Amino acid sequence: MTTPAVPQQTFTIRPRGPFSLAEAGAFGHGAEPAGDWPGGGAFADGVLRLALCRDDLRGQVGVAVRQDGAGVHGTVSGLDPGEAVEPVRDQVARMLSLDGDGAAFAEVGERDPLVGRIQAAAPGLRPVLFASPYEAALWCVITQRWGRRQALAARERLSREFGRVVEVAGVALAAVPTPEQLLAAERLPGLPELKQERLRAVARAAVDGLLDPVATREGDPAEVRARLRTVNGIGEFAAGLVHLRASGVQDALVDGEPRLAALVGAGYGLGAPATAEDLARIAEPWRPFRTWTAVLIRAAGRRLPELAVVPEPVPAARVPRARPSRSEPLALIG
């Protein structure tokens, strides 16, 4: 059901340091249209349109995000009259990494010349995240052993049948169902029984607080990922993706990402993809932005001529519940 017209609310975020909404809108897609901008939403004509399940898990909203010289502005649809807009603003700030200090991030580039060159090639690029750990976990389950197009169609169908359709800057977008809405559905048409079972497990985990964004962001990374792996359908790879691409963590060390390892190996003259030990050593000057820096290299490193020629890593063999299948549109950090 489409949200009836209600007064819209607005907010403004003034970024600390460089930020580019255009870079955010193209994040992870290169020249492709951002029809699956991570987990949902679309960027066109300078507007990032989002439809998301709120952090409080009580409903969904739409947000149209624009940027000008005064800051980043959001127009929110779907809130009931009198509901506070600040939680939505904070959620969007986390999604766009606007809750971090871009000026301090620029200092990493002053300490590390390679990082500085990539920052100059991708001005204002920051990590772009899923709306929440809950939405990231849903996406991980939906994509298991499915290709991008099939997974996108399944998510859209799930959102339209059981979630909420909101109008965002003149476009109707469907937001994923809340855990309560998902658990209330007797069946989820078009999804195999195993996926249905795992989606319900994610919903129950969200209700139980296991996917809380703050706890996911601030907890010890090993403990956070171990907790996430207790959810049926969330293996090692998915736990890492939820942690890194949904919580807003800024300084977790990223390893186990083949493309990042290949780019770091080439960029730092290692003669081979970086090992976990190499990454830990090289990343020391990146503190307190090791995650942000890894995302920058992974997403924009190929804008440098010497990294543009680095071959894409050959996907690893499929391991059930630990890594995505080769056809799945998942990358750990971008």
Model pLDDT for residues 76-114, shown as the tens digit of each residue: 999 999 899 999 999 999 999 999 999 999 999 999 999
Q: Does some domain include residue 183?
A: yes
User: Are residues 74 and 138 part of one domain?
Assistant: no
- Choose one of 215, 246, 277: the last residue of a domain: 246
Q: Write phi, then psi, for 87 (nearest 5 degrees).
A: -60, -35
- Whether residue 162 contacts residue 177, with contact meaning beta carbons closer than 8 Å, is answered with yes
User: Are residues 181 and 115 part of one domain?
Assistant: no
Check which CATH number belongs to the domain holding 187 and give it: 1.10.340.30
- Whether residue 46 contacts residue 22, with contact meaning beta carbons closer than 8 Å, is answered with yes
User: Are residues 60 and 153 part of one domain?
Assistant: no
Number of compact structural domains in the chain: 2
Q: Does some domain include residue 312?
A: no
User: Are residues 236 and 213 part of one domain?
Assistant: yes
- Give the residue ranges of DSSP H helices in the chain: 21-25, 86-95, 102-111, 113-121, 133-143, 148-162, 179-184, 193-207, 213-218, 221-228, 236-246, 258-267, 276-282, 290-300, 305-308
Check which CATH number belongs to the domain holding 48 and give it: 3.30.310.20
Q: What is the mean pLDDT of the chain?
A: 91
DSSP label at 168? E
Distance of CA 157 to CAs 9, 63, 162, 214, Å? 28, 20, 8, 29
DSSP label at 248? -
State the Rg of the chain over Cα.
Answer: 19
User: Are residues 159 and 86 part of one domain?
Assistant: no
User: Are residues 157 and 199 part of one domain?
Assistant: yes
Q: How confident is the model at residue 319 (pLDDT cuts 50, 70, 90)?
A: very low
Q: How many CB atoms lie within 10 A of CB 180?
A: 13
Q: Does some domain include residue 142?
A: yes
- Choose one of 219, 246, 273: the last residue of a domain: 246
Q: Does some domain include residue 267?
A: no
Domain membership of residue 140 as a residue range: 133-163+177-246
- Choose one of 246, 270, 286: the last residue of a domain: 246
User: Are residues 226 and 153 part of one domain?
Assistant: yes
From CA 45, how far away is CA 329, in angstroms rounded? 25
pTM: 0.91
- Whether residue 286 contacts residue 108, with contact meaning beta carbons closer than 8 Å, is answered with yes
Burial of 269 (0-12, 13-18, 19+ CB in 10 A): exposed
Model pLDDT for residues 20-54, shown as the tens digit of each residue: 999 999 886 543 433 456 667 789 999 999 999 99
User: Are residues 208 and 143 part of one domain?
Assistant: yes
Q: Does some domain include residue 20?
A: yes
User: Are residues 156 and 111 part of one domain?
Assistant: no
Q: In this structure, what is the dihedral angle of CA atoms 96, 97, 98, 102, given to the nearest 10 degrees?
A: -130
Q: Does some domain include residue 23?
A: yes
Q: Does some domain include residue 27?
A: yes
Model pLDDT for residues 224-275, shown as the tens digit of each residue: 999 999 999 999 999 999 999 999 999 999 988 999 999 999 999 999 999 9
Q: Does some domain include residue 238?
A: yes
Q: Tokens 């624009």 — which residue? A: 66
DSSP label at 174? E
**Residues 6 or more apart in contact with residue 29 via CB below 8 angstroms:** 37
